Amino acid sequence: MLTNEHIKQRLTEKFGEGVGNFEEPYGLLSFEAPKDLNLKVLNFLYDDEELKFRFLTDLCAVHYPDNTGKELAVVYHLHNMVDNIRLRFKVFTDIKTPDVYTATGLFSAANWMERETFDFYGVNFLGHPNLKRILNVDEMDYFPLRKEFPLEDQSRIDKDDEMFGRG
């Protein structure tokens, strides 16, 4: 039976100090690697005959504005459907050069997920076959889910804050 401990052991055997920050929130194995290793780690998880993480459930980004040099995280959720095991894999990148290698060569589903992540967070997926906005207008010159943008227009006067519990 495949366990989180065995997956962690296989990853550290292969990548050593390249993988780290292992956690298990709610039993979900979660770990990090440098962004330059993202494809090597993904390929290993996919190809290894014991691990068999061959389904990309989700790919998204998270903005950590206070995490200097690692402001953007790209998060992969992978699933081994044979053993019904899931894991979370994160890579961090600088917001000034948000370049991460595309996973479209390994997972076809990564195509639209990476486009959405680019559209909302500005992550530049190197090697992506068609990296352009997918949900927002092409003319948009910012990335709306970054935390540098307020959730609502601060100049609005057509609502009463007391109605929203802020009065």
Residue 160 lies in a domain: no
The Cα–Cα gap between 152 and 136 comes to: 17
Q: Structure pTM?
A: 0.89
Residue 161 lies in a domain: no
Phi, psi of 27 (to 5 degrees): 85, 0
Contact criterion met (CB below 8 Å) for 36 and 28: no
Task: Specify the number of domains making up the chain.
Answer: 1
Residue 55 lies in a domain: yes
Give the pLDDT of residue 82: 96
The Cα–Cα gap between 99 and 101 comes to: 7
Counting every residue written for the chain, the total comes to 167
Q: What are 125's strand-pairing partners?
A: 100
pLDDT in tens, 87-115: 999 999 999 999 999 999 999 999 999 99
DSSP label of 17: G
Domain of 83, CATH number, reads 3.30.460.80
Residue 149 lies in a domain: no
What is the span of the domain harbouring residue 61?
4-144
